[in-house]
Structure 1
Amino acid sequence: MWMQKRCHSIPLMICQTTSARTTRRENHKKEGRLRRRSGSLRSHAPSHECSTGRDAPRLDGQHDSGARMPVIDAHSALQRSRPQQHSSCRPLAARGERYCPDFLIERRTSLNCTVRLQRHYERVWSRPTEVCPFDAGPVHELPPGFRVLCTPPDAKRVLWTYATAGLSSSKRVPAIELHLFSPRKSLGLVELLYAVAHYHCNGPGLDWAHTVNLGRPWLDSSKCEYGLVSRPYLDGPDLENYSDEEGGVKCYWLVPITADEVRLKVKQGIDSLEDEFERQQFNYADPGRKSVAGASDGEGA
């Protein structure tokens, strides 16, 4: 009995399937006649093109209004065949965004770091800063956004101030920025900071209490041919400690010192050298000042 019922149901299923196919075929024919009547039927696309409907978006982000659909490459077809991903995981082109190479991301990050540090200086010093143009030497080996800023004297500060911005964006060395003071405006100090920055980024790196050989007097015929990386005692922790989403940065003071003062620091430590600075009340902005070490400045250390 069960077999008989099953056999009787088979022709009925076949009839229903045939009837459904006939209905769909007639619907397609009717739809085609309506399109031809309204004049909106598109020409048949070649075999290497893909037409997915009137409202399908073009690859360039625009909508096709009656023209042939653009060629769909293998990469786009592959992306459509993959399982649907979260919007943040889809390819940039699928989200309407542009691909950004790593070097452009690094440059953008470095430039943002420079702008933020410039604002930090202006907030602490309460003065506007300006960029000092410089393009001599291997400046391409510095971080992309690196700049040297300067601020002129005012009623509160009688000295010119030169500061690096973007030096801390170099990832392989300590994140520091340097500044120094000068009794007058000098392009030579801009070049000096560029040279020290290049040594920092491409050498072993500088940090607090380090000394660097400047290779020449910092101004005029000064006997100070070295730089001491010191804490910014004139401005305090407000200038020294800076942080943003990229991390913490130390803003240090680059103090010009003599060869004998370098030797004193090496033998007795930086505290002894700074004690001598304070005891003798040395004028850090005077290019012709004498060494606090009280010895001849003949040889370098």
Structure 2
Amino acid sequence: MIDENERLSALEGHVRKFWDGHIVEPAPWGRGPILERVPKFSAYRVLPQRAGEAWVYVTVGSSVDGSEVGGIEFFVMSPVADEIHSETLAMVSHYHSFEAHRLSIGSIINIGRPWMSDSPMDHLLVSLPYPYGPQLEWAPPEAGGARFLWLLPIHRSEADFIKRETLDEFESILDSKGVNVLDPHRDPVA
């Protein structure tokens, strides 16, 4: 059996190892009900090394839910530092903590507010971590083998498109148009 504290340490180690050379710092969010449902929840901020790179906010502890293995950790990318991303991670982790609301690849979440101030995007798509690949996606066994998934901000019309068509079709459109996913004011592709 994996000790929860050892698992948390291994999850944090996975994040720090993946972003080796970057500053990785706590980005706490202790307001609201998150710690009641997900007591091991914490968020970290990964600082970019160069202009134009993403700020990354990532959970550590969302996957620690009493089970020994598996579970999901989440990350969101941003063009700027903003504590709203820690709030978003707390909100998504809290929502995901309910069995009836378990998230997986292709899940869409209406967050009820713009993902960033003045952005028209108010939905998140749970996606594979395409910008970073499987090295980030799969935590090692000592971290419970948790899976890190990307919360991609999308427009309501894009959420409707995915529900009406397919996730693969939406992802193909994003790729073919070379969409800048860090642009909080990007036009919808569907």
Shared fold (TM-score greater than 0.5)? yes
**Which structure shows the bigger proportion of residues in strand conformation?**
2
Q: Which runs of 5+ in 2 are unaligned?
A: none
Aligned length: 187
Deviations 1:204-243 (A, max 9, x none): 2111111111110001121111111111111111111123
Which residue of structure 1 lines up, in the alignment, with residue 85 of structure 2?
189
Contact 1:118 1:129 in 2 (8 A): no
The equivalent position to 1:151 in structure 2, one of 37, 46, 56, is 46
Contact 1:241 1:248 in 2 (8 A): yes
The correspondence of residues 199-278 of structure 1 with structure 2, limited to 5 A, is 199-202=95-98, 203-245=100-142, 247-278=144-175
Once superposed, what is the RMSD of the aligned Cα atoms? 2.2
Contact 1:231 1:253 in 2 (8 A): yes
Q: For the residues of structure 2 that align with 1:147 and 1:220, how far apart are their CA atoms?
A: 23
Which residue of structure 1 lines up, in the alignment, with residue 7 of structure 2?
113
Q: For the residues of structure 1 that align with 2:158 and 2:187, how far apart are their CA atoms?
A: 10
Q: TM-score w.r.t. structure 2 length?
A: 0.90
Alpha-carbon shift at residue 114 of structure 1 (Å): 2.4
Report sequence identity in percent. 31
Deviations 1:117-136 (A, max 9, x none): 11111211212411112221
Please say which structure displays the higher CA radius of gyration. 1
- Is 1:133 paired with 2:28? yes
**Which structure shows the bigger proportion of residues in helix conformation?**
1
Partner SS state of residue 43, structure 2: strand
Question: Aligned AA for 1:163?
Answer: V
Deviations 1:73-127 (A, max 9, x none): xxxxxxxxxxxxxxxxxxxxxxxxxxxxxxxxx9x61x33222111111211212
Alpha-carbon shift at residue 171 of structure 1 (Å): 4.3
Q: TM-score w.r.t. structure 1 length?
A: 0.58
Question: Aligned AA for 1:271?
Answer: D
Partner SS state of residue 242, structure 1: coil
Q: Which runs of 5+ in 1 are unaligned?
A: 1-105, 294-301
Contact 1:164 1:193 in 2 (8 A): yes
Q: For the residues of structure 1 that align with 2:145 and 2:30, how far apart are their CA atoms?
A: 28
Q: For the residues of structure 2 that align with 1:155 and 1:290, how far apart are their CA atoms?
A: 25
Alpha-carbon shift at residue 291 of structure 1 (Å): 0.4
Q: For the residues of structure 1 that align with 2:57 and 2:175, how far apart are their CA atoms?
A: 23
Contact 1:114 1:147 in 2 (8 A): no
The correspondence of residues 70-89 of structure 1 with structure 2, limited to 5 A, is none
Q: 1:213 to 1:171 in 2, by over 3 A?
A: farther
Q: 1:261 to 1:131 in 2, by over 3 A?
A: same
Runs of 4+ in 1 over 6 A off after TM superposition: none
